[in-house]
Structure 1
Amino acid sequence: MAKKTEKVTVAATYTWRRILVVVFFFCLVVGLSARAVQLQIISRDFLKGQGDVRHIRTVEVPANRGMITDRDGNPFAISTPVYSVWVDPVVLLENSEFIAPLAKALNIAALSLRKKLDQKSDKRFLYLQRKVRPEISQAIKNLDVPGVGLEREYKRFYPDGEVIGQITGFTGVDSRGQEGLELVFDEWLTGKPGKKKVLKDLYGRSVENVENIKSPQSGNDLVLTIDRRIQFLAYRELKKAVVKHKARAGTAVVIDCKRGEILAMVNQPSFNPNNRSGFKTAGIRNRAIADRFEPGSTVKPITIAAALDLEIINPHTVFETSPGYMMVGSKTLKDTRNYGKIDVTTILQKSSNIGTAKIALSMEPDYFLSVMSKAGFGQESGLSLPGETSGYLGNKSRWSDIERVTMAFGYGVSASVLQLAQAYTAFANEGVMQPVSLVKENEKRQGKKVFTKKTAKQVLEMMEKVVAKGGTAPLAAITNYRVAGKTGTSKKSIAGGYADDRYAALFAGIVPASDPRFVMVVVIDEPSAGEFYGGKVAAPVFSSVMTGVLRLLNVPPDDWHNKNNREIGSGRKIESDREIESSTKVEGNREV
């Protein structure tokens, strides 16, 4: 009986346990089902929002940098949209099978990429390459590598390459200016980035734009005074001359003498700002403003103008230059030959050192120094470009006679090509030197009086004789136009004196002399192919370029060349606008 009662008790206990287990699991299923209903229906929007919040990020939207253009709106520097490749090293290392194809797309070694990832394995963001070519970004998109993404940025592009590179300068990888106008006007050109919210996936890639918080504001455009057609023409002719005469370098500047606007500024050697791997300091330097040189005989018109203003001479005053040399202290000055008795006009036409020296000695040195200073020597031009030189203009309490006369024909003083061109605007503008500008301005700035109107006119007429038959620069002549100018051939200074076999060949000219519109200065540095005189080396560049400028800008010819039996050169045929640009070939943005 006792055993039977015990069996009944055990069976009852098992029954209740089974009931409790069933009830427990039933309640669990009901609870889970209820929770699932809550999550799927009641709290769906809330939970989705919470998940999105964890993957929504606020990112910066890059702004487009302003363009740099010529006076007619032709682009010299523009920004184009490109992509940069970034990676989350942690994610990519977890998906290491993608490293090799990714490295191939980026054109780098797989081992090199793996090493970089290992070194940055504690980082969650790393740029692999910035501003890649379109075909590379497309290849990255096609691969769809976990942890790798593309970020839209802007890349600076310079359509005219080395033709304008030393003026525009260039930007760095962060799109901030590093040289030239890109540096000077960086704040003006730089836009203001925007902001937006984006939804990112678990690999950190943006998969959806959620909200635009602030639109990016593009930078301001910068309009230059440069005329692209004239820039190409001057660049082509200067390069031809440098190659022909096997010169070390060359520089040329063209200025609108009425407004002081720089229409062209070219240098050789140059550089292509699109090709960063080939940068050389010599090519980056804008020699037109950064290099100073002794201007030689191109200063003689200023010396004569200073004396004319004092009324101690006139164009017909005669000086004795025999026997072709002259002692000044212990130094001997020489002319190329004995000119005998010649007037001031002939002194300039023949570039007589002795005649110029006698004129200089008739003036007080402080007065002549003040005239040179008014003409801009020893001062920066005001362009505020990086590396601009002020040149050198001595300022002594006492001057020896030899210092006075050598300065009068361009030694012991130095200037940039731009400074010399600016000084010549005084002869072209009735004695008023115009302030020069490289950025287009709405209002004309006030010039500075250097010479009287009468003196400027007299010197301009005398400089026409330099270009006529019998002068030192008949090769600067232009058919059907009156040209005024002055040659210079200066020895290069070296330690302890001057080199006997190194020269700078110069020509500074004004056209048309009947109604001046343009000033151009050409310097060919250290020609070594035989010719080295300014009238032989630099003057032809002036003629070729200005022939084109007069035609391009529709300046009507004058017929003064038919009067007074004046003989001029044969002139030069110039091509159309399109031929000018196409003749300066750019292949892969490298000039050939």
Structure 2
Amino acid sequence: MSATPRRADAARRKADLAPMGRGRYRLMLGLVLLGLALLAGRIVDLHVFDRSFLQGQGDARTLRVEPIPAHRGMITDRHGEPLAISTPVVTLWANPQDLPDDRIQRLRLARALGQDLEALEARIERYADREFMYLRRRLTPEAAQRVLDLRIPGVHKREEYKRYYPAGEVVAQLIGVTNIDDQGQEGLELAYQPYLSGEPGRRRVLKDRRGRLVRDLAVLREAQPGGDLTLSIDQRLQYMAYRELKAAVDEHAADGGVLVMLDARTGEVLAMANQPSYNPNDRAGLDPEGLRNRAIVDVFEPGSVMKPLAMSALLETGRFPPDTRVDTSPGWMVIDGYTIKDVVNYGELSLSGILEKSSNIGMAKLTLELDDPVVPERYRALGFDRAPGTGFPGEAGGSVPAPMRWSSSQWAALSYGYGLSVSALQLASAYTAITNHGERLPPSLLRLPEAPAGQPVVEPGVADRVLGMMDRVVEPGTGARRALVPGYSVAGKTGTVRKTGGGGYQEDAYRSLFVGIAPVSDPRLIAVVMIDHPRGGDYYGGAVAAPVFSRVAGNALRILDVPPDRIDDDD
């Protein structure tokens, strides 16, 4: 076949296919243009009509609202010395899904955190299906920055505050502690949690896809710092009281002890020490016994330290003139089958002598001469049947038995301090009625701008007379002589109480107490000392608790620059 016919056949085939080719071209071109039109329409729809959706999706991936931590308020003593402060710390956290699988990077992270690699990997595995896990809490900013400088994906920081207590164990039970989230858990930290904590703020930030901060955009709400709390405590007196109490507990191998010191003119608590104690800055191996503020939350039978208060009620009846004398021979008596004893047979005693010798027989005989329950009523008026009202969590209310339960023996026992329960703070507060001409002042853990109004409880003349009796209790040659303070007049009362347990009073377990007032001419201080179960041989209040008062009150009066009011020959 020649070339000419072949060319003719090709031309015919091309002519036959041309219409089909042009149709396909047009179809494909139309489809492409339609697709472009739809795409353009969708772009216009998204950018014009559905813009908020896109904006929201973008913001959800890049914008965050984060809390701004509020600075917790500071707690200070009455002179502004810090007792609890907040310091900035950094908490490191991670998104386990973003953490690298590279073992080398995980090893670097574990070392920087001071953790074991296997333990860290086990935690990452445990939180693998979540987006948040703590790596290390409350690091110093410098330590946290060393971890962040590793630039390991998925590791982030959060700024927080950590509580620090400069006075440590000295005032631990009163101040209390916060938990790891800086929320009050004990003591005044708990009592004033809403006031101290403040209000966290909020801020909007821009972050990249790995959660790293790119830019601060806006503060939505400023953080409101917590309020500062000024206590009535004088840190100088607190340190000194704690030191002397701890020394006494150690010396007598006691179970513990408390010391409460009040300003006699205002009712403010100047010192409140407890043993055992704990370090709130390092709670590893913490003994729960050290957490209790025994001065406020624990109650006990007070014993003979109640005799001056009972005597005030007896004197107000008018039945016992100043020259009254009571025969306490033979040093014991039986009431309702119970035997009441004195240490020895004191014979005939004056009213002052009953307090000086701490005669149970004398108090019981005076009380049983009356038909009215004046002693328990006086205890109620002094606040021994209710909480002191300081606001401290768990403060004890004490107890005075109800009238229908009284027998002659119970009535007598109340007069020398048995059959009721009180706290050390209640006891100290009750004696403000003796130092303030009959007006009891409510105790306060906060510094007061001025002295509060007192509640009349004791007749002024009677209160002054009882104070004079207590002055004669603390004299050379008396059982309370170890409470004497050189240069100052001291009024006080000792107490030695058997502890209960095993269904009754224990034979060899005591509480040693002393209540003291100084100086008598113009009372400035009231202090209660209680040593729980001394085992060093001595257990009488005059031998164990009174010396603690002497050292504490003597130092306190000099620190407060109170002028001496008694110059003795020995001085």
Shared fold, TM over 0.5: yes
CA–CA distance in structure 2, aligned partners of residues 279 and 9 of structure 1:
105
1:62·1:216 contact (CA, 8 Å) conserved in 2?
yes
User: Is 1:463 equivalent to 2:470 in the alignment?
Assistant: yes
| Aligned residue identity for 2:77 | D
Aligned counterparts, 1:31-430, within 5 A? 54-397=61-404, 399-430=406-437
Q: CA deviation at 1:184?
A: 1.0
CA–CA distance in structure 2, aligned partners of residues 453 and 417 of structure 1:
24
Q: CA deviation at 1:265?
A: 0.7
Q: 1:464 to 1:51 in 2, by over 3 A?
A: same
The Cα offsets for residues 211-265 of structure 1, whole Å up to 9 and x where unpaired, read as: 2222211011111111111111100100000000000010000001111100111
CA–CA distance in structure 2, aligned partners of residues 321 and 50 of structure 1:
93
CA–CA distance in structure 2, aligned partners of residues 203 and 498 of structure 1:
69
Q: CA deviation at 1:153?
A: 0.7
Aligned residue in 2 for 1:2: 5
User: Is 1:545 equivalent to 2:548 in the alignment?
Assistant: no
User: Is 1:486 equivalent to 2:493 in the alignment?
Assistant: yes
1:92·1:98 contact (CA, 8 Å) conserved in 2?
no
Q: CA deviation at 1:95?
A: 4.9
Counterpart secondary structure, 1:371: helix
Q: 1:228 to 1:11 in 2, by over 3 A?
A: farther
Counterpart secondary structure, 1:258: coil
Q: CA deviation at 1:135?
A: 4.9
Greater Rg over alpha carbons, structure: 2
CA–CA distance in structure 2, aligned partners of residues 76 and 67 of structure 1:
8
Larger mean CA deviation between 288-297 and 114-123 belongs to 114-123
Q: 1:49 to 1:373 in 2, by over 3 A?
A: closer
User: Is 1:503 equivalent to 2:510 in the alignment?
Assistant: yes
Larger mean CA deviation between 130-139 and 418-427 belongs to 130-139
CA–CA distance in structure 2, aligned partners of residues 75 and 10 of structure 1:
104
The Cα offsets for residues 125-172 of structure 1, whole Å up to 9 and x where unpaired, read as: 222222124453132122221100111011111111111111111111
CA–CA distance in structure 1, aligned partners of residues 310 and 55 of structure 2:
85
Larger mean CA deviation between 339-348 and 270-279 belongs to 270-279
1:93·1:117 contact (CA, 8 Å) conserved in 2?
no
Aligned residue in 2 for 1:474: 481
Larger mean CA deviation between 51-60 and 524-533 belongs to 51-60
The Cα offsets for residues 67-105 of structure 1, whole Å up to 9 and x where unpaired, read as: 111111111111111000110101104455422221222
CA–CA distance in structure 2, aligned partners of residues 48 and 409 of structure 1:
81
Q: 1:315 to 1:101 in 2, by over 3 A?
A: farther
Q: 1:512 to 1:10 in 2, by over 3 A?
A: farther
Aligned residue in 2 for 1:587: none
Q: 1:484 to 1:199 in 2, by over 3 A?
A: same
| Aligned residue identity for 1:184 | A
CA–CA distance in structure 1, aligned partners of residues 62 and 426 of structure 2:
61
CA–CA distance in structure 2, aligned partners of residues 289 and 275 of structure 1:
24
Q: CA deviation at 1:511?
A: 0.6
1:193·1:215 contact (CA, 8 Å) conserved in 2?
yes
Aligned counterparts, 1:426-437, within 5 A? 426-437=433-444
CA–CA distance in structure 1, aligned partners of residues 91 and 12 of structure 2:
79
1:88·1:203 contact (CA, 8 Å) conserved in 2?
no
Q: CA deviation at 1:470?
A: 2.8
1:95·1:146 contact (CA, 8 Å) conserved in 2?
no
Q: 1:87 to 1:184 in 2, by over 3 A?
A: same
2:470·2:492 contact (CA, 8 Å) conserved in 1?
yes
2:314·2:374 contact (CA, 8 Å) conserved in 1?
no
CA–CA distance in structure 1, aligned partners of residues 316 and 12 of structure 2:
139
| Aligned residue identity for 1:549 | A
- In the comparison of the two structures, how many residue pairs are matched? 544
Q: 1:8 to 1:111 in 2, by over 3 A?
A: farther
User: Is 1:515 equivalent to 2:515 in the alignment?
Assistant: no
CA–CA distance in structure 1, aligned partners of residues 56 and 127 of structure 2:
33
Q: CA deviation at 1:361?
A: 1.2
Q: CA deviation at 1:281?
A: 1.9
Q: 1:53 to 1:373 in 2, by over 3 A?
A: closer
| Aligned residue identity for 1:369 | P
Q: 1:58 to 1:8 in 2, by over 3 A?
A: same
CA–CA distance in structure 2, aligned partners of residues 8 and 501 of structure 1:
132
Larger mean CA deviation between 473-482 and 317-326 belongs to 317-326
CA–CA distance in structure 2, aligned partners of residues 399 and 419 of structure 1:
23
1:251·1:417 contact (CA, 8 Å) conserved in 2?
yes
CA–CA distance in structure 2, aligned partners of residues 400 and 335 of structure 1:
21
CA–CA distance in structure 2, aligned partners of residues 399 and 502 of structure 1:
27
Q: CA deviation at 1:50?
A: 8.7
1:167·1:180 contact (CA, 8 Å) conserved in 2?
yes
2:88·2:140 contact (CA, 8 Å) conserved in 1?
no
Larger mean CA deviation between 344-353 and 108-117 belongs to 108-117
1:315·1:458 contact (CA, 8 Å) conserved in 2?
no
Q: Structure 1: where are the runs of 5+ without partners?
A: 39-45, 571-592
1:365·1:404 contact (CA, 8 Å) conserved in 2?
no
CA–CA distance in structure 2, aligned partners of residues 517 and 364 of structure 1:
37
| Aligned residue identity for 2:475 | A
Aligned residue in 2 for 1:590: none
Q: 1:6 to 1:226 in 2, by over 3 A?
A: farther
Q: CA deviation at 1:354?
A: 1.3
Q: CA deviation at 1:423?
A: 0.9
Aligned residue in 2 for 1:451: 458
CA–CA distance in structure 2, aligned partners of residues 326 and 419 of structure 1:
31
Counterpart secondary structure, 1:551: helix
Q: CA deviation at 1:506?
A: 0.2
| Aligned residue identity for 2:527 | M
1:316·1:345 contact (CA, 8 Å) conserved in 2?
no
CA–CA distance in structure 1, aligned partners of residues 467 and 420 of structure 2:
23
CA–CA distance in structure 2, aligned partners of residues 433 and 364 of structure 1:
26
1:66·1:222 contact (CA, 8 Å) conserved in 2?
yes
Q: What is the TM-score normalised by the length of structure 2?
A: 0.89
